[in-house]
């Protein structure tokens, strides 16, 4: 295998073997929708196709849980190897498998960022009236380790797209409907095809354009299709030739929708980081000028080196502010006010930061 991963391809084969043949740390994001076929079918029948009738035949169930756990550990271990050190991983599942997957993720050292519930607008009803209608699925979003500090998350952008409120852990989407669902000879091509809207939120929120998105359980290729549409690269794997063929055909029809470049000024973005002293150096604040602490009677005087003096303390705007507040730390930019020499208005020194950058 080359040093460069085979991007924008649908690979045929066992996902564990295929991932192990890819270069290390080549994926920026992994999204996985693994099978969970261990209970409803397997647990009812023994391997020799006799029906399990014992009331508490734990052996059979235990064996199939173990097999599922082994499979899960193996594909997650392979996934971990190909995941970039700044990458994150998503797994989707239902109550049949997600608890086992979640526990194994923790055991392998992954660290949970969020669990997300996909609340279905139109779930399959509960036919027999013996349970609550199962109207959601669960996604786990994890990083490689507790100590990993960097990962991609477009918090600010999704907040802007969500009525200026931070995006929550409950996501509301309809299930994959008739217009979206892939059919082969009039019957659905895959039983658990996921809606593109769900993958859109996953990929758009936790990757950047150009990133490599890996899906080890391709199916109809929804992950790869949304990745391609959003200008990401993809690698996806399935061991069924039929799915590989289907996904390739689907992907051929996907045209990336190019975003225009983002405007320079993001409203509500943090101010540029500048040293406080540059306000003094640039003349925006005169040496010796006075800063009011909040709306109190406490004033600080500005020194030529960017330190300030107030209440008997000399130090940074942050440290002096924190001491006056009795807190371990503070953001001095949001505490101190200067008097605008033109209007006589009192304003936060925070308002001077953009000017200082322009002046540089």
Residue ranges in contact with a copy of itself by CB under 8 A:
43, 49, 55-56, 58, 61-62, 65, 95-96, 98-103, 105-107, 109, 112-117, 119, 123, 125-126, 129-136, 138, 140-141, 145-147, 153, 155-156, 159, 166-170, 325, 327, 330
81 binds, among DNA, a copy of itself, none (CB under 5 to 8 A by kind): none
**276 contacts DNA (rule: CB under 7 A):** yes
- From the CB of 304, what's the least distance to DNA, in Å? 16
**Distance between CA atoms of 113 and 236, rounded to whole angstroms?**
24
Nearest residue (CB) to DNA, 234 versus 333: 333
**185 contacts DNA (rule: CB under 7 A):** no
DSSP SS3 for 109: coil
**Distance between CA atoms of 71 and 36, rounded to whole angstroms?**
10
23 binds, among a copy of itself, DNA, none (CB under 5 to 8 A by kind): none
DSSP string, 288-303: T-EEEETTSS-EEEE-
In the stretch 340-359, what mask flags binding to DNA with x, by CB under 7 A? ----------x-------xx
List the one residue from 121, 256, 340, 347 that touches DNA (CB under 7 A).
121
**Distance between CA atoms of 137 and 120, rounded to whole angstroms?**
8
**In this structure, what are the phi and psi dihedrals at residue 188, rounded to the nearest 5 degrees?**
-65, 135
Which residues, in sequence order, are CB contacts of 309 under 8 Å at separation 6+? Answer: 300, 301, 303, 320
Contacts to DNA from residues 138-157, by CB under 7 A: 149-150, 156
21 binds, among a copy of itself, DNA, none (CB under 5 to 8 A by kind): none
**165 contacts DNA (rule: CB under 7 A):** yes
116 binds, among a copy of itself, DNA, none (CB under 5 to 8 A by kind): a copy of itself
101 binds, among DNA, a copy of itself, none (CB under 5 to 8 A by kind): a copy of itself
Contact 50, 105 (CB under 8 A): no
**119 contacts DNA (rule: CB under 7 A):** no
The number of beta carbons lying within 10 Å of the beta carbon of residue 293 is 20
**In this structure, what are the phi and psi dihedrals at residue 306, rounded to the nearest 5 degrees?**
95, -5
Token couple for 166: 């931070």
266 binds, among DNA, a copy of itself, none (CB under 5 to 8 A by kind): none
**Distance between CA atoms of 101 and 38, rounded to whole angstroms?**
13
Contact 258, 231 (CB under 8 A): yes
Measured at the CA of 122, the angle between CA 134 and CA 207, to 5 degrees, comes to: 90
Q: How far is CA 258 from the centre of its chain?
A: 21
DSSP SS3 for 251: helix
- From the CB of 137, what's the least distance to DNA, in Å? 7
List the one residue from 159, 200, 239, 303 that touches DNA (CB under 7 A).
159
- From the CB of 85, what's the least distance to a copy of itself, in Å? 10
- From the CB of 45, what's the least distance to DNA, in Å? 6
Token couple for 52: 């399990």
Nearest residue (CB) to DNA, 164 versus 342: 164
**265 contacts DNA (rule: CB under 7 A):** no
- From the CB of 259, what's the least distance to a copy of itself, in Å? 22
**Distance between CA atoms of 290 and 307, rounded to whole angstroms?**
12
List the one residue from 260, 263, 264, 270 that touches DNA (CB under 7 A).
270
Nearest residue (CB) to DNA, 258 versus 327: 327
**331 contacts DNA (rule: CB under 7 A):** yes
Token couple for 155: 């918090």
Contacts to DNA from residues 305-324, by CB under 7 A: 316-319
**Distance between CA atoms of 134 and 102, rounded to whole angstroms?**
19
102 binds, among DNA, a copy of itself, none (CB under 5 to 8 A by kind): a copy of itself
């Amino acid at each position: 295998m080359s040093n460069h991963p085979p991007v924008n391809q649908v690979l045929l084969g066992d996902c564990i073997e295929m991932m192990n043949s890819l270069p290390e740390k080549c994926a920026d994001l992994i999204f996985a929708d693994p099978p969970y076929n261990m209970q409803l079918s397997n647990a009812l029948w023994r391997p020799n196709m006799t029906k399990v009738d014992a009331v508490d035949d734990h052996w059979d169930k235990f064996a199939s849980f173990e097999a599922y756990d082994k499979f899960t550990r193996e594909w997650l271990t392979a996934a971990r190897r190909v995941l970039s050190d700044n990458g994150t991983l998503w797994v989707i599942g239902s109550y049949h498998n997600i608890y086992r997957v979640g526990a194994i993720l923790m055991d392998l050292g992954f660290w949970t960022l969020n669990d997300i519930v996909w609340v279905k607008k139109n779930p399959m009803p509960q036919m027999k009236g013996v349970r609550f209608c199962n109207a959601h699925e669960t996604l786990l979003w994890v990083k490689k380790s507790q100590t990993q500090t960097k990962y991609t998350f477009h918090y600010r952008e999704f907040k802007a797209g969500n009525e200026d409120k931070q995006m929550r852990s409950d996501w509301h989407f309809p299930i994959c409907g008739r217009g979206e669902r892939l059919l082969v000879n009039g019957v659905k091509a895959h039983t658990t095809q996921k809606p593109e809207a769900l993958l859109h939120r996953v990929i758009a929120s936790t990757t950047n354009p150009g990133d490599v998105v890996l899906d080890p359980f391709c199916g109809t290729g929804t992950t790869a299709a949304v990745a391609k549409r959003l200008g990401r690269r993809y690698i996806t794997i399935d061991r069924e030739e039929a799915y590989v063929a289907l996904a390739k055909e689907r992907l051929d029809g996907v045209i990336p929708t190019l975003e225009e470049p983002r405007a320079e000024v993001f409203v509500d973005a943090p101010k540029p980081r500048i040293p406080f002293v540059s306000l003094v150096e640039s003349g925006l604040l005169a040496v010796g000028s006075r800063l009011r602490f909040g709306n109190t009677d406490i004033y600080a005087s500005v020194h030529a080196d960017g330190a300030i003096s107030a209440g008997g303390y000399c130090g940074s705007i942050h440290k002096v502010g924190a001491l006056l507040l009795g807190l371990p730390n503070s953001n001095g930019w949001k505490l101190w006010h200067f008097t605008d020499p033109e209007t006589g208005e009192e304003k936060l020194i925070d308002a001077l930061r953009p000017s200082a950058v322009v002046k540089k």
